[in-house]
Structure 1
Amino acid sequence: MKRRSLLTVASAATVMTLGGVGYAAHRRTSNPYYGGPQSDHFDGVRFFVPGHPTDRGLPEVLRWQAQRRREPWPKHVPSPFPPDRPPERVASLRVVLIGHASYLVQVAGRNILIDPVFATRASPLRFAGPKRVNPPGLAFADLPPIDAVLITHNHYDHLDGPSLARIWQAHQPLVVAPLGNDAILRGYDDTMHVETRDWGGTVDLGGGVSVHLTPANHWSARGLNDRRMALWCAYAITSPQGLHYHVGDTGLGDGALFRDLRARFGAPRLATLPIGAYEPRWFMQPQHVNPAEAVEIFALLGAVQALGHHWGTFQLTDEGIERPVEALAAALAEAGIPPERFLALRPGQVWEG
């Protein structure tokens, strides 16, 4: 394959990772994943965020690709933190970033993986698309017994089907996902049991730990014809250690989602928020916050502590690899927030509280 063709394939794989595919996504008139009743955010075929634009069409995608001014990333960016070797269980709260948006959360004796991606590429293709620039900050072989896996949405940088099948076979965890994602997951292992819920739904993980699915200003797509046919979410994790609010991807919108979250659950002890994959702003703003907006969400939530993810592992968008860290520091300084209260995590970095 010629170099130009390879670049085209790689670019297409990047766009598919973000779910940014064109008009073909709007032609299907039936939903292969979910057949439930209509609601205030489901029209019978597609999910949506009321009053919020959450995806782009083909003209915008082509404009972005034609005008790209992508800042180069190094091919290899080792984390300054060694791979984590977590304890088997913890009674308190311990969080480690595996990479990008993948976490191991250990709380109140429960071990929870969130959006675990161990793949070399965040892509539907094995030979093209965004490639890791650092290895996972926790090796698969060093995982403790996994009790639950939480999936926020089906984009390839959050739902790694082969890794999830491997986790299922090794640990038989409770898998929790928004509506429609069970069909996708069972495509990788038809024995996998998945508990799906709508926004507002709850799943009890035992030991006083529950997860509550809450809205996010985002969307979903796995291929060319399934745009917004599976739901997406954020998670409020309640436990004896307090509230942990986790967002995989979101736009800020008018801030109502975060005010509502605080009104329903109170101020989080911990918020894990995305800070990367935000340029160019005209394209990404509805679906991905930038660091300044993440700081605004932190303030709206009244969170005690925040950890930043969704940066530094896969180059999905145009900003340089260290730009989210720099922008986060500037936004915290502007807001008068001590930098230690909102940390941009790197793979293998552990936070305990």
Structure 2
Amino acid sequence: MKLTRRRVLGLLAGAAAAIGVPSVWMSRMKTYAGPVSDHFDGERFFDPDGMPPKSLTEVLRWQFGRNRQRHAWPEWAPSPYADTPPERVAGEKVRLSFVGHASWLIQTAGLNILVDPLWSMRASPFSFAGPKRHNDPGIAFDKLPEIDVVLVSHGHYDHLDIPTLSMLAAKFSPRVITPLGNDVTMRGADSAIRAEGFDWHDRVELGNAVAVTLVPTRHWSARGLFDRNKTLWASFVMETPAGKLYVVCDSGYGEGKHFRRVADAHGPLRLAILPIGAYEPRWFMRDQHMNPSDAVMALGDCGAQAAVANHHGTFQLTDEAIDAPVTALHAALDEAKIPREKFVALKPGQVFEI
């Protein structure tokens, strides 16, 4: 394989989206400074129950050894659905619209909340290289209702997308709730982004009796070669009139401790949003991304009444086929004797209501 400059940048951009290892040029940024804690050593964050990120050598071994043709995705895989959400959702109802990958619009109690919004064509630090969309967002940007709050789970490029956050800031000026350090990244890129950084276990009032608590998750963060774990990562427990939602945008499974602790501290949970994609090869991905079998175990651990899947079917970050996560999810549910309707996988533009 001829390693042209463009090919090398493409490989780095692919790694950046999946596990946060882009070029050296993307690493010169301001970072968080704060007191030492049980998960921050004064310079970098860490998960006492997690695993450190893979080394650059392991990243390059994976990237340069991948067999892309074996699990090639179609150039374009359009969803048959497109959502035009209402302006507001009142009462005790919760309306969740799947935008794609880890992006959601959650409407409840008169609030419109976006999770990990990404409307860009690539999940990458580059406009010309890196993982490219295989379908449109489930909601066209100009069809969005007024956005009040944005939740951003961590700094990887497929979750923290500065161009989208800038568009949202210009049009709606929403609050942006994010783990510590990611607010520094956002404001450093665009001072109009109203980013607020919070630590694990912080509870944030969003208004109208809706609140969100940042909870530990088994993952990590980076946007450059030299800033690994200099920003925090989290999942969210959202309190709504219809019950609590557990929003997991990216996580490994490990021994399931994170999920059981959320059940103990925040249960009962009405619904969990759980990732099911970007999991192959397992030697590389198991510590940071769940596969569908892991996600089914996570559902049991957290005790949610039902689950919807995310982190699949839009960007090819890893080596499995585009339809493999949903197929494997059905097989894992069948094996566990759990009805398929308890854990559903939507296509972009589909809606789930409580």
1:254 maps to a residue whose letter is E
Q: Name the CA shift for 1:72/1:64 in 2 (closer, same or farther; >3 Å).
A: same
2:32 maps to a residue whose letter is Y
Aligned-partner SS, 1:129: coil
CA distance in 2, matches of 1:72, 1:85: 31
Contact between 1:251 and 1:288, CA under 8 Å: does it hold in 2? yes
> Which runs of structure 2 are paired with 1:109-148 in the superposition (5 Å)?
109-148=110-149
Residue 80 (structure 2) aligns with:
80
Q: Name the CA shift for 1:202/1:76 in 2 (closer, same or farther; >3 Å).
A: same
CA distance in 1, matches of 2:158, 2:23: 22
* Deviations 1:62-82, CA, capped at 9 Å, x for gaps: 22123313310000000021x
CA distance in 1, matches of 2:227, 2:175: 25
Residue 192 (structure 2) aligns with:
191
CA distance in 2, matches of 1:60, 1:267: 40
CA distance in 1, matches of 2:74, 2:172: 35
1:87 maps to a residue whose letter is P
CA distance in 2, matches of 1:51, 1:268: 23
2:299 maps to a residue whose letter is F
Residue 274 (structure 1) aligns with:
275
Stretches of structure 2 that go unaligned for 5 or more consecutive residues are none
* Deviations 1:118-176, CA, capped at 9 Å, x for gaps: 00000000000000010111011111111100000011100110110110111111110
* Deviations 1:60-111, CA, capped at 9 Å, x for gaps: 1122123313310000000021x20001111210001111110000112111
Stretches of structure 1 that go unaligned for 5 or more consecutive residues are none
CA distance in 1, matches of 2:13, 2:247: 26
Aligned-partner SS, 2:322: coil
CA distance in 1, matches of 2:125, 2:23: 19
1:101 maps to a residue whose letter is A
- Match for 1:41 among 33, 39, 42? 39
1:307 maps to a residue whose letter is V
Residue 316 (structure 1) aligns with:
317
Q: Name the CA shift for 1:9/1:192 in 2 (closer, same or farther; >3 Å).
A: closer
Aligned-partner SS, 1:112: strand
- Residues 260-269 or 228-237, more deviating: 260-269
1:6 maps to a residue whose letter is R
> Which runs of structure 2 are paired with 1:62-211 in the superposition (5 Å)?
62-70=60-68, 71-81=71-81, 83-91=82-90, 92-211=93-212
- Aligned CA RMSD, in angstroms, stands at 1.9
Residue 215 (structure 2) aligns with:
214
Contact between 1:96 and 1:103, CA under 8 Å: does it hold in 2? yes
1:99 maps to a residue whose letter is G
Structure 1 residue 8: Cα displacement: 2.5
Aligned-partner SS, 1:18: helix
CA distance in 2, matches of 1:298, 1:59: 34
Residue 58 (structure 1) aligns with:
56
TM-score normalized by structure 2? Answer: 0.94
CA distance in 2, matches of 1:308, 1:54: 25
Contact between 1:108 and 1:241, CA under 8 Å: does it hold in 2? no
Q: Name the CA shift for 1:254/1:23 in 2 (closer, same or farther; >3 Å).
A: farther
The count of residues paired between Structure 1 and Structure 2 equals 348
Aligned-partner SS, 2:308: strand
Aligned-partner SS, 1:236: strand
Contact between 1:251 and 1:289, CA under 8 Å: does it hold in 2? yes
TM-score normalized by structure 1? Answer: 0.95
CA distance in 2, matches of 1:54, 1:157: 20
Contact between 1:20 and 1:55, CA under 8 Å: does it hold in 2? no
| Paired-residue identity, % | 51
Q: Name the CA shift for 1:279/1:247 in 2 (closer, same or farther; >3 Å).
A: same
